[in-house]
Amino acid sequence: MSSGDPKHDKIITLNIPFYVLLQQIQGILGGLNEDERGLVLHLLEEARKLSGEGGLFTELVVYDLLFGYNDPLLVYIIKDIEALPDVLGDWVKKLKTFAKTINPLFGLENVTEVEYGNQVYTGKDDISQIGQFIEWNGNFEIYKHGGWGTPAAKMLNGTAGFIFPPGVKKGHNVTAFISELYRSGYFSFTEVKTLYGINLYRYALPGDELVSANQDPGFYANGPNGVLNLTA
């Protein structure tokens, strides 16, 4: 029975670090002889026993799964690989190099990269910041793209547009970074929609966000009228 507390509730789930590790190890095993493969598989089995992990499925506290924990299986595997003597061959050096890339800290929300070096807030310390961009495409502001004319227009504000903080009220705007436009924009409440009996708030880009460059030169000092030039 759930207590409603993620720090106490437990869940049986796929042992993601172990599964990913097996996928990576397969690529290494292909270049080894039978004895070398046997040694690597023995290390994996011993690490599994010592860590107390059951294999592909494990029981975790929900909070740890979300925000990170030191996976005991990965900790033991790293130690075992580092203890291998180099005299066994170059494959051991390759295995040790691979072990250095393993981070025993695992959590679904602990990794903040979205893609291409993007970073977003997880909401762990402040739920109102969940999904907000910290860095996009390696940049902390939109200075390499778009040619925006003011510091405000270059700011990296909002989420990717598919997640917003809980408890948003009708009178509050929400912000999103629109990567196709290289620009952040805000969305205003327009109406309540019902889906399967659930009331949903619909937000849309307001008209003043679509003002032409002639009327709002600070938005895009060098471009044509409108947000996008759709002419072929």
More confident residue, 188 or 56: 188
Residue 230 inside a domain? The answer is no
Between CA 24 and CA 198 the distance in angstroms is 43
Whether the CA torsion 110, 114, 115, 116 is positive or negative: it is negative
Residue 182 inside a domain? The answer is yes
Percent of the chain scoring above 70 in pLDDT: 74
Same domain, 31 and 68: yes
Same domain, 141 and 60: no
Residue 5 inside a domain? The answer is no
Q: In this predicted model, what pLDDT tens digit does every residue of 137-176 receive, in sequence order?
A: 777 777 655 556 677 777 778 888 777 888 888 878 888 8
Same domain, 70 and 147: no
Between CA 53 and CA 108 the distance in angstroms is 19
Contact 114, 120 (CB under 8 A): yes
Length of the chain: 232
Between CA 53 and CA 212 the distance in angstroms is 60
Residue 169 inside a domain? The answer is yes
Q: In this predicted model, what pLDDT tens digit does every residue of 92-115 receive, in sequence order?
A: 777 788 778 777 777 766 544 444
More confident residue, 201 or 56: 201
Q: In this predicted model, what pLDDT tens digit does every residue of 187-196 receive, in sequence order?
A: 888 888 898 8
pTM: 0.38
Instruction: Identify the domain containing residue 173 by its residue range.
Output: 119-210
CA angle 232, 205, 231 (to 5 degrees): 5
Residue 161 inside a domain? The answer is yes
Same domain, 145 and 96: no
Same domain, 97 and 123: no
Contact 157, 183 (CB under 8 A): no
**Domains of the chain: total:** 2
Same domain, 76 and 46: yes
Same domain, 26 and 83: yes
At 1, the pLDDT band (50, 70, 90 cuts) reads very low
Same domain, 135 and 51: no
Residue 184 inside a domain? The answer is yes
pLDDT score, position 210:
63
Contact 175, 187 (CB under 8 A): yes
